[in-house]
Structure 1
Amino acid sequence: MDIARKLILCIVVDVKNLTVSSDPDFPVPENTEITFTCEAEGGIPAPNITWEIPGASTQPEPTVSDTSSQISLTLTKDMNNQELLCTAQQRERTLRESIKLNVKYKPTVDINMTPTEYYHGDEVNLTCSADGYPDPVITLRFEDKLFTHDTSDRNILRIGRVNQSQTRTYSCLAVNSEGNDTASKSLTLTPIKLC
């Protein structure tokens, strides 16, 4: 009697490497659609590839092949400096690879004066701050003239012993490769109440 036996051989090959790339390369301007590819080198059976997208409440549907996955995202300024994570899961083995998002966006400016009420003879600090990528160049001005600073922090102007001649509008301009923004603040002396 002839007995035939079947032998089933299961071969497992671990994923060797995981890479994440983008097209186009970084940095990119805000609102640019970019395609990310996550590619696993090797792997039998093929790994399950997933994405984690920073700040996304819903995940876009990736295009998947045996050893790679692609997603397309429109990048916003809120995604700048975030990490996009790709994970390849194969049986008990997990590989992770990330890519840092570099999104260029125009600056937004904020200008503040302290204290909030100014009296004759007070010292007033005017602070200009800006958010943008690449980092914006900040200029403080009044009546189209640049300020001279008595401090190493170039975004703060200290106006000592305020008097009526210094009551005017001060402005702050922030500029980078993506655009510019301006904010203004008026310095008005509070009258002293006499009893």
Structure 2
Amino acid sequence: MGLWATVIFFAIFIPFQSSPQPQFEFRSLEPIFRITGQTYELPKGETVELECVVDNLGDNTIVWKQGERVITAGSVKVRKDDRMSLVRNYFRSHNLQIRNLNHIDTGNYTCEVEWQGQPRDITHSLKVLEPPQITHPHEGSNIFVNEGEDVRVSCTALGDPNPEVSWKRVHDGEIEQGLITNDEPGYLNLGKVKVEDKGKYVCEAKNSVTYDSVSIYLHINYKPLVHANQNVVHSGEGAKVDMTCIVDGYPQPVVNWFRKSGDPRTPGLGATITPDSNYVMSTDGPRHHLRIRSVTRLDLYSLFTCEASNEQGRSRESIELTGRPEAPTINSTPDGLFANSFELAFTVKSFSIVIKVEIRYKKKHTGYAEKSGWIMKNYHPTGERIGEQYYTTGITQSIFRVIHYNIEQLEPASKYEVQVKVENEYGWSEYSPSFILNTREKDYSHEYQRGLFGFASGSENVVSQSLTLTIFIICHTILLLLF
């Protein structure tokens, strides 16, 4: 009994001594980056995703930094910037996304893993590209210079990459190139500016991102330019007339009208015209009108002057208002019907009745110098009012008169140069432009003479032809004026 008790005691109270067990030390694998550092270039306002793909991350922590500034540590966002966030596209990716890029985002971004006291990392370079921004001049700027001066305007722009700057001109809606000097890019240089240089100019700045542009307006201060639509206006007592001058200048010129009666060679402008019920002034853009509702006899011996003035000077142009006839227009067909005569028909603008006609003609020679002198014919037309036609253009009234004259004693198969002028109570007109007529080798025989519309004609039909031709000439003259 005592022996068994001893055995049980040792079995219970003495620990079982086992053989020693082998010891194992677990080491984690080294993290491996699956990508290398990249360079990113994106425009301002875009979104970028910086990649960081790591194998064997284990329980290590990824840290994103911009320079030395920590952005995230693991899933914890350290930097308080709502534009930045972590993106896990798959289980090994730990990308950094930055939205609405700004210039402050430019720099180096490091994805770092701490492993056994030795950091492992990759670094990306991010460059935020800046679109061009023109800082000078401002949109819609106005530049004022005097005619003949030099113009120099600089155009400066910011941007990354550095933008290229150029100047262009907009002329009649078309863009013109080549307005910068080679040695001074960004400068608009214009030497001794002329009136034609005024207008819109555009500065344009370009880089790889986009472009920016600014428009300026160049104003040239220049002496007024005055141009009269007509230097001589033919009219008559009681008629309506419109005299117009076109004025250009900067600053906007002030326009005045003057009337000088009598001899136009007399010095001075005469009296300033004050608007009233008979003399009406109006402006339509650059056109300045003086309308006379009822021309007086004194007006018909007057010189009207349109004068424009501004800070740069003054200019003027004169218009003679006269009752004299205009130079006639010969309307006949050059090829005549007869060998020794020619039926001449012409129109003349004259309010007063034509009291005298002067026709001069000479034979044209070919192959050698002209030897013939002018042959003069003067006569007083009769029944001239039969060919009278009233016509109105706008406010201006006109009277056209058609006159016939049969030139005789011509040589057969010959050419003649003819000019005509007429006289009324106010004086003589200028000569008409030269007209070349051709006589036939022999007259048309009686049985082959035809009227204007193909009817058989004898001597009585010549009168019919003349009347028909008169009507035709009047209609033709009116159509020319209309169109």
Matched, 1:51 2:51: no
The one-letter amino acid paired with 2:153 is F
- Aligned CA-pair RMSD: 2.8
The one-letter amino acid paired with 2:179 is Q
Larger radius of gyration: 2
Matched, 1:158 2:291: yes
User: Given the superposition, is the C-alpha separation of residues 153 and 187 from structure 1 closer, same or farther in structure 2, using an over 3 Å criterion?
Assistant: same
Matched, 1:181 2:315: yes
Matched, 1:193 2:193: no
Question: TM-score scaled to structure 1, two decimals?
Answer: 0.80
SS of structure 2 residue aligned to 1:102: strand
Question: Does structure 1 retain, via aligned residues, the 8 Å contact 2:305–2:316?
Answer: yes
Shifted more, 151-160 versus 137-146: the winner is: 151-160
Query: Match of 1:171?
Result: 305
User: Given the superposition, is the C-alpha separation of residues 86 and 185 from structure 1 closer, same or farther in structure 2, using an over 3 Å criterion?
Assistant: same
User: Given the superposition, is the C-alpha separation of residues 129 and 57 from structure 1 closer, same or farther in structure 2, using an over 3 Å criterion?
Assistant: same
The one-letter amino acid paired with 1:18 is I
In structure 1, stretches of 5+ residues that fail to align are: none
The one of 257, 269, 272 equivalent to 1:146 is: 272
Query: Match of 1:90?
Result: 207
Question: TM-score scaled to structure 2, two decimals?
Answer: 0.35
Query: Match of 2:226?
Result: 109
Summarize deviations over 1:39-88 as a string: whole Å, max 9, x none: 112x2211121211345575342513xxxx223113321232x2111111
Question: Does structure 2 retain, via aligned residues, the 8 Å contact 1:140–1:147?
Answer: yes
Question: Does structure 2 retain, via aligned residues, the 8 Å contact 1:115–1:125?
Answer: no
The one of 167, 171, 194 equivalent to 1:76 is: 194
Report which of the two has the higher share of helix: 2
User: Given the superposition, is the C-alpha separation of residues 174 and 189 from structure 1 closer, same or farther in structure 2, using an over 3 Å criterion?
Assistant: same
Give the CA deviation at 1:6.
7.0
SS of structure 1 residue aligned to 2:298: helix
Question: Does structure 2 retain, via aligned residues, the 8 Å contact 1:114–1:124?
Answer: no
Query: Match of 2:217?
Result: 100
Q: Distance in 2 between matches of 1:87 and 1:58?
A: 12
User: Given the superposition, is the C-alpha separation of residues 141 and 57 from structure 1 closer, same or farther in structure 2, using an over 3 Å criterion?
Assistant: farther
User: Given the superposition, is the C-alpha separation of residues 176 and 139 from structure 1 closer, same or farther in structure 2, using an over 3 Å criterion?
Assistant: same
Question: Does structure 2 retain, via aligned residues, the 8 Å contact 1:12–1:45?
Answer: no
The one-letter amino acid paired with 2:304 is Y
The one-letter amino acid paired with 1:162 is V
Question: Does structure 2 retain, via aligned residues, the 8 Å contact 1:88–1:95?
Answer: yes
Give the CA deviation at 1:134.
0.3
Give the CA deviation at 1:161.
2.7
Question: Does structure 2 retain, via aligned residues, the 8 Å contact 1:147–1:157?
Answer: no
The one-letter amino acid paired with 1:89 is K
User: Given the superposition, is the C-alpha separation of residues 152 and 168 from structure 1 closer, same or farther in structure 2, using an over 3 Å criterion?
Assistant: closer
Matched, 1:39 2:156: yes
Matched, 1:61 2:181: yes
Q: Distance in 2 between matches of 1:185 and 1:33?
A: 37
Summarize deviations over 1:108-134 as a string: whole Å, max 9, x none: 112246995312321112223310000
User: Given the superposition, is the C-alpha separation of residues 88 and 31 from structure 1 closer, same or farther in structure 2, using an over 3 Å criterion?
Assistant: same
Q: Distance in 2 between matches of 1:180 and 1:114?
A: 19
SS of structure 2 residue aligned to 1:14: strand
Q: Between Structure 1 and Structure 2, how many residues are aligned?
A: 183
Question: Does structure 2 retain, via aligned residues, the 8 Å contact 1:114–1:126?
Answer: no
Q: Distance in 1 between matches of 2:281 and 2:208?
A: 57
Task: Give % identity.
Answer: 25
User: Given the superposition, is the C-alpha separation of residues 169 and 116 from structure 1 closer, same or farther in structure 2, using an over 3 Å criterion?
Assistant: closer
The one-letter amino acid paired with 2:353 is I
SS of structure 1 residue aligned to 2:223: strand
SS of structure 1 residue aligned to 2:196: helix
Question: Does structure 2 retain, via aligned residues, the 8 Å contact 1:49–1:86?
Answer: yes
Query: Match of 1:129?
Result: 246
SS of structure 2 residue aligned to 1:168: strand
Q: Distance in 1 between matches of 2:229 and 2:320?
A: 10
Shifted more, 109-118 versus 120-129: the winner is: 109-118
Q: Distance in 2 between matches of 1:114 and 1:124?
A: 14
